[in-house]
Amino acid sequence: MSSNASCNLLKDVKPYKTGWRVRVKMLHSWKQNFGGETLECILADETGGKIHASFKRSQMFRVQRALPIGEWRFVENFTVSQAGGQYRPTNLQYKMTISGDTAISKCDFQNNNHFLDLASYEDIIEGKMNPFFLIDILGEIFDMRGIQTVQVKNEDRKRVVFRLRDTNGNDVECCLWGKFAEIIESHIEDNEGEPIICLIRFSKISYYKGVEKVYISADSIDPSDINSVNDEALGPDFLNTIKVSGLPNHSLRLKVGCPVMVLRNINPTLGLMNGTRLQIIQVMDFMVQARIITGEKVGETVDIPRLSITPSDTRLPFKMRRRQLPLAVAFAITINKSEGQSLSEVGLFLPKPVFSHGQLYVAISRVTSKKGLKILALGKDGKPQKKTMNVVFKEIFDNLESEV
């Protein structure tokens, strides 16, 4: 076929034919062995569109010579099928298979664009990224730990763990294996004391994979409660079972990446107030380090120690104190706790209608756009319904009219 013949863009290729012709360059390749060795690669066209391509071992030598990384080539006569597998290197729903009938030829087109699709640190930290799509990430290396040799499926593999940070001070933990661990360690040694900027392409996101740490509270009767302090029935075992509003649980299970909510006004000037939401970034023996994700201090890193907390619930016939982290795991929050926050996405779950005037307005007005709002309202039978009751005290409006 003539080199001047028209080419298809990768977004246009579909499974219904094999006579496609595309102009692409290889961005990355790796070997895979699932039921037979194959070479997998990522190809990009001039618009930055990407596709996952695969070819069998019998084609490896030919394709690797004809399609080197970073060089533009014409590729024609290939099959296209539905992309599968747990992790997807591109967002295209199709995958290319290169066979013996596929022709690969040189072209004069030049474009040095690497077609990066850099992930936002904020989106990674807030869990907005789809963990089944591979991402590109760029940042400065810090807090690098020594290279380790660990056993994986009875084989020794090298691993190095470090953190990357962006220009806004956001940071994420990264882990590289095998030759990539050796490469990064070599760069650090050769440039000791100098800042190292690292680009990781087609990396996998892992959420909440850290070791879980359990924090156990120390409970006792407050010495000022002279009527209860010597009561044997109010021992630690009983006090451990107490669960009241505003009091952290006796057993608090946390991981890096876990969202939590502050239960006390700790330090308003630092943004640590009752209802502030945080994300755990480090767990220690008696404290945690977290990043603020709501309020005016978003992005700030804070240390949260254990505190002695006395519940404010007056229904308790005794006065107790609990020494614990003033936190509660908060994958979801109540409507009242959300008041004052501005969020890009809100999922509102109403197993029963709201019960207070203005409560529904507070919930819906947290979101900055209609597109970011999802509501699941259940009827009395527990099934989803398309409407819910709004509570309005009409007397309020009657008073307003009489005043006018």
Residue 265: C-alpha distances to residues 272, 328, 383 (Å): 6, 14, 39
pLDDT digits (tens, 9 = 90+) for 330-368: 888 888 878 777 777 889 998 888 888 788 888 888 888
151: three-class secondary structure by DSSP: strand
Q: Looking at residue 324, what is its pLDDT?
A: 96
pLDDT tens for 263-300 read 999 998 888 998 898 998 888 888 999 988 887 888 88
342 Cβ contact partners less than 8 Å away, ≥ 6 residues apart: 366, 368
pLDDT value at 261 more than 60: yes
pLDDT band at 20 (very low <50, low <70, confident <90, very high): very high
Each residue's pLDDT tens digit, 137-173? 999 998 887 788 877 777 888 888 888 999 988 888 8
Q: pLDDT tens for residues 314-337?
A: 788 999 999 999 999 988 888 887
Is the confidence at residue 209, as pLDDT, over 60? Answer: no
The pLDDT confidence band at residue 26, using thresholds 50, 70 and 90, is: very high
pLDDT at 133 over 90: no
pTM assigned to the model: 0.52
pLDDT digits (tens, 9 = 90+) for 241-254: 999 888 999 999 99
Q: Three-class SS of residue 140?
A: strand
Does residue 90 surpass a pLDDT of 50?
A: yes
Domains and CATH numbers, the chain: 10-106 (2.40.50.140), 121-203 (2.40.50.140), 213-329 (no CATH), 341-403 (no CATH)
Of 277, 264, 255, nearest to 306 by C-alpha is 264
Give the C-alpha distances (Å, rounded to integers) separating 9 from 43, 47, 315, 325. 11, 8, 69, 55
Compute the mean pLDDT over every residue in the chain, rounded to the nearest whole number.
86
Mean pLDDT to the nearest integer, 376-390: 86
Q: Two tokens at 171?
A: 């940071």
Percent pLDDT > 70 in the chain is 94
Three-state SS for 14-58 is CCCCCCCEEEEEEEEEEEEECCCEEEEEEEECCCCCEEEEEEEHH
pLDDT in the model for residue 326: 96
Asked whether 376 and 349 are in contact (CB, 8 A), the reply is: yes
Check the CA dihedral 43-45-50-54 and report its sign.
negative
- 84, two tokens: 């599968």
Question: Per residue in 51-75, pLDDT tens?
Answer: 999 988 888 889 989 999 999 999 9
What are the residues whose beta carbons fall under 8 Å from the beta carbon of 272, sequence distance 6 or more?
Answer: 262, 265, 266, 292, 302, 304
SS (H, E, C) 49-89: CEEEEEEEHHHHHHHHHHCCECCEEEEECCEEEECCCCCEC
Angstrom distance (rounded) from CA 288 to CA 286: 7
Q: Tell me which residue of 90, 89, 256, 87 sits closest to 161, measured CA to CA.
A: 256
DSSP, collapsed to helix, strand or coil, labels residue 254 as strand
pLDDT number for residue 86: 65
Task: Assess contact for 113 and 189: CB atoms under 8 A.
Answer: no
d(CA 349, CA 384): 10
